[in-house]
A = this chain, B = another copy of it.
Amino acid sequence: MSNQLKQGEFKLHARRDQARRATFMTAHGSFETPCFMAVGTKATVKAMSPEELKACGTQVVLGNTYHLHLRPGEKLIKKMGGLHKFMNWHGPILTDSGGFQVFSLSSLRKMTEEGVEFNSHLDGAKHFISPEKSMEIQMDLGSDIIMAFDECLQYPATDEQIKTSMDLTYRWLKRSHAAMTRSESLLFGIVQGGLSLEHRKYSLAQVTSVDLPGYALGGFSVGEPIQLMHEILPHIAPLMPENKPRYLMGVGTPLDLIISIDAGVDMFDCVLPTRVARNGTLYTWQGKISIKRQEYKEDSGPLDPECDCYTCKNYSRAYLRHLFMSGEILSARLNTIHNLHFYMTLMRKAREALEQNRWPAYRDDCLTRFVRSDKTS
């Protein structure tokens, strides 16, 4: 579906109400949307090899600018041939701007119009990131999709704070855009505005005044009751440019994904499936389970009888429980393979349902399964 596309082109194949099925082209090939991106914070998706990522259906890997800047540093990665070669992932890579981590991980932040000064969470060393610096880092990494440097407010925030922050984010977007000098990298702008539809529309108008190949929704999943995000998304996502990918940053659970696709979102990323896998929490089509529970001790069945991932095809729940209880590395591996495969299958089935004009039935089946599961979590 993608052979004829140019870099940065977004081709819509099907839609049902707001939900969309499309292809987006980058310098490292195309990917099909709706798409969930695997988070590879420190130049590796934790516990996974690139071949396993592929086998799970991963199309895009996300790298974290903040972490890679601090260690091993973007200059080293550039010298080693760029992030793709360094980590042996030759598909599309998206990098965030570093802003979110500066605000959530570092200490002693000092924010000015120019940018943010902060101390590394690793060694306390002083660093400074500005829109220009963030673009430079992401271009040095060789990222296919670069995120604009924005301010990500904590929840809750006052109207005044949100307004000030949106205006700053807009000025930083223009500086981010002006700093882009690498034709293989595509810049996405980030819409902020908290949980107010009015603010979101204001920010959307600002951000889309800069013509970019894609736009994101930032500032969700920052501690607000998730119901509030579910409610506002159908009002804001459809207002985003129709012929460009829409990326909801840092989201979410399987339930969040289905609701967001229905609202018109195309791209997602979240540490959830990989992080909880390492803690023994596994997503199945029958709901979420904790593999450490006593009931699985002598369970010779597969983790999820509806799943055809490597883990489910070759190992029993009893073995997965044993590995988890013993703290074995293979536990993190097999659990992560399963959870990522689950997320990627959820998205593949969403794409197929949209192509085959049966999105509402698929959506409703997922909602029934996941609403119940989320309530028991």
**Which A residues lie at the B interface, using CB under 8 A?**
42-44, 46-49, 71-72, 76, 79-81, 86-88, 297-298, 300, 314-316, 318-319, 321-323, 325-326, 328-330, 332-333
Chain B neighbourhood of A81, CB < 8 A: 300
Known: A80-B316, A328-B42, A329-B333. A322 touches B48 (CB 8 A): no
Q: CA of A44 to CA of B333 in the docked complex: distance in angstroms?
A: 12
How close is A53's CB to chain B, nearest CB, in angstroms?
A: 11
* 6 contacting pairs across A/B (C-beta < 8 A): A46-B329, A72-B318, A76-B298, A81-B300, A86-B318, A333-B333
Residues of B within 8 A of A332 (CB): 329
Q: Which residues of B contact A46 (CB under 8 A)?
A: 328-330
Chain B residues within an 8 Å CB radius of A79: 298, 300
Taking CB atoms, residues of chain B closer than 8 Å to A318 are 72, 76, 80, 86
Within the complex, which residue of B76, B321, B330 is in contact with A297, where a contact is CB–CB below 8 Å?
Answer: B76
CB pair A319–B87 under 8 Å, yes or no, is: yes
The closest CB in chain B to the CB of A300 belongs to: B80
CB A186 to nearest CB in B, in angstroms, measures: 25
Whether the Cβ atoms of A71 and B315 lie closer than 8 Å is no
Instruction: Give the residue name and chain of the B residue nearest to A43 (CB).
Output: B322
**Nearest 6 pairs between A and B by C-beta?**
A47-B329, A72-B322, A44-B330, A88-B314, A42-B326, A44-B328
Give the distance to chain B from A56, nearest Cβ to Cβ, in Å: 14
Residues of B within 8 Å of A48, CB to CB, are 330
Which residues of the other chain, B, contact A86 by a CB distance below 8 angstroms?
Answer: 316, 318-319, 322
Q: Which chain B residues border A49 with CB–CB below 8 Å?
A: 330, 333
State in angstroms the CA–CA spacing of A78 and B209 once bound together. Answer: 67
Contacts of A333 in B (CB 8 A): 47, 49, 329, 333
| Measured CA separation A109–B79 after assembly (Å) | 57
- Separation of A328 and B297 alpha carbons in the complex (Å): 29
Contact of A71 with B330 in the complex, beta carbons under 8 Å: no
Pick the most buried of A81, A87, A325: most chain B CB atoms within 10 A of its CB: A87
Shortest distance from the beta carbon of A115 to any chain B beta carbon, whole Å: 25
A49 CB to nearest chain B CB (Å): 7
User: What is the CA–CA distance of A111 and B46 in the complex, to the nearest angstrom?
Assistant: 45
Q: Taking the nearest CB of chain B, how far is it from the CB of A66, in angstroms?
A: 13
Q: Provide the residues of chain B in CB contact with A88, threshold 8 Å.
A: 314-315, 319
Q: What is the CA–CA distance of A43 and B86 in the complex, to the nearest angstrom?
A: 33
Q: Which residues of B have CB within 8 Å of A80?
A: 298, 300, 316, 318-319
Beta-carbon contact of A44 and B300 below 8 Å: no
- Chain B residues with Cβ below 8 Å from A298 are 76, 79-80
